[in-house]
Homo-oligomer: A and B are copies of this chain.
């Protein structure tokens, strides 16, 4: 399924690139108000995830956030870092620190989702 370049795709990608942080669907929707449908935002973001352009993280507020994959290449994705959500400015960031977990015997690890909520240095 070959991808096509569309205004919607370009607009969402620009927003993510300028954000320097993970964004939720609704915050992106707010920025493109009128330009495109709500569903299109979801679909563009999901396609980005399928294509390895973004990664999708379910925050502890129950919403998905999307962040550009910065240190990933086509084959190796590495998203086992902590995520921080600020209760003041609502900003979500990918932290540098990797999550270290040792599972009990016989357990196999598939994915990790680690969140810290609190207040960032500006809040």
Contact = CB atoms under 8 A, between A and B. Distances in A.
A89 interface: no
Given A62-B62, A105-B121, A87 B110 contact: yes
Nearest to A123: B108
Interface string A27-54: 0000000000000000000000000000
Q: How large is the interface on A (under 10, 10 to 19, 20 to 34, 35 or more residues)?
A: 20 to 34
B114 A118 contact: no
A123 B105 CA distance: 13
A26 interface: no
Nearest to A86: B107
Interface stretch (A2-10, A12-20, A66-74, A96-104): A96-104
Given A62-B58, A97-B101, A100-B100, A118 B113 contact: no
A107 B119 contact: yes
B97 A120 contact: no
Given A95-B104, A106-B120, A106-B121, 9 more contacts: A84-B107, A97-B101, A107-B118, A108-B118, A109-B117, A110-B119, A113-B114, A114-B114, A114-B115
Interface of A: 58, 60-62, 82, 84, 87, 95, 97, 99-121
